[in-house]
Amino acid sequence: MGIIVGNDTRLVVQGITGNDGSFHTQRMLEYGTNVVAGVTPGKGGQVFEHEGHRIPIFNTMLEAAEETAANASCVFVPPAFAADAVCEAASAGMDVIVAITEGIPVLDSIKQYQFAARFGSVLIGPNCPGIVTVGECKVGIMPAKIFTPGPVGLISRSGTLTYEVVNALTEAGIGQSTCIGIGGDPMIGTTFLDLLVEFEADPKTECVVVVGEIGGSDEEDAAEFVREMSKPVVGFISGRTAPQGKRMGHAGAIVSGNKGTAESKVAAFNEAGIKLADITMQIPDLVKSVL
């Protein structure tokens, strides 16, 4: 068990015939994800084949949903069209939409966020590595071999740090329930707070790791909720040496004045009782200390 996706996920891959969509569809199928359809306008009626899997391709999300009872989508559509793809998925009734695409204009991201919220879809991303409920379902681009089943949930703004922390946990003999990369753009769908609420209610998750970074106030908002949680939380904040006014890495990782600084996030985590790692390799030992 885990959160957001699992054995009951029936996935559509939007942009399945592109290089990225094709490659990662193969990896998701190999993990055991139930990919039921692909969507590429103009290529409806074709079939995507991989190791005995035959995935029908449709021209629209509505056709894919009606024919396959799909309930989730993964977006590998170029930036200029990705927001429309998200909106199409939401209007077709997808419960979960994972937007992998990087470089979506901010105004488009605002539109897709509002559209997904209107239709009640959970939007993860954009510019994210996706989500894995370990042993059940992988949606996105995360490398499957680093995961092992267990009781630790993980939320991260950074894809690379997601992989680094998961790998460190696995090497330390600590398994994971669900791991999510929420993306580092200024406007994203699902936040730390949203996912902490989900993990708090998940009986299989006993501890949560939160990997944040400079910029924005999502980490501070999450820290307020952690005060009320019954489950322990371990944290890490990247970008502590970033100079003010400079973007370090993600588009959302920019510090303006006193807002979004590493110091403010560290202080919020400490006040909430979150055990805070100075470097990522300390995270497994901190997790062991609270489990």
The beta strands (E) that lie in 25-135 are given as 35-39, 47-50, 53-58, 72-75, 96-99, 122-124, 130-133
Mean pLDDT, residues 220-242: 88
Least confident of 21-25, 122-126, 181-185: 181-185
Give the integer Cα–Cα distance in Å for 204 and 252.
32
The contacts of residue 206 (CB under 8 Å, 6+ apart) are: 151, 152, 231, 232, 291
Q: Vertex 20, ends 17 and 24: CA angle to 5°?
A: 95
Q: Which residues of 260-291 are buried (b: 16+ CB within 10 A; e: fewer)?
A: bbbebbbebbeebebbbbeebeebbebbeeee
Total-model pTM:
0.93
In a domain, 102, yes or no: yes
Q: Are residues 156 and 117 in the same domain?
A: no
243 confidence band (pLDDT: 50, 70, 90): low
In the chain, the amino acid numbered 197 is V
Give the chain's domain count. Answer: 2
14-33 mean pLDDT? 98
Do 99 and 192 lie in one domain? The reply is: no
Residues 103 and 169 in one domain: no
Q: For residue 79, with 0-12 CB atoms within 10 Å meaning exposed, 13-18 middle and 19 or more buried, which class applies?
A: middle
131 in any annotated domain: no
Residue whose token pair is 């949560």: 208
- Residues 246, 194 share a domain: yes
pLDDT tens for 139-166 read 999 999 999 999 999 999 999 999 999 9
Q: Is the pLDDT of residue 110 over 50?
A: yes
Q: Which residues are catalytic?
A: 250
| Token digits of residue 221 | 């908002």
What are phi and psi for residue 153, nearest 5 degrees? -90, 150
- What does the pLDDT read at residue 201? 97
Residue 98 lies in a domain: yes
Range 74-94 average pLDDT = 98
**pLDDT at residue 119 greater than cutoff 90:** yes
Does residue 137 fall inside a structural domain? no
For residue 96, tell me if it sits in a domain.
yes
Same domain, 147 and 80: no
Q: How confident is the model at residue 238 (pLDDT cuts 50, 70, 90)?
A: confident
Percentage with pLDDT > 90 across the chain: 85
**Residue 240 pLDDT:** 60
CATH at residue 56? 3.40.50.720
CATH code where residue 281 lies: 3.40.50.261
Element of type H or E holding 24: helix 19-31
Q: Is residue 130 part of a domain?
A: no
Range of 35's domain? 11-124
Instruction: Say yes or no to pLDDT of 242 above 90.
Output: no
* Model pLDDT, residue 253: 46
The answer to the question of residue 129 being in a domain is no
Looking at residue 180, its amino acid is I
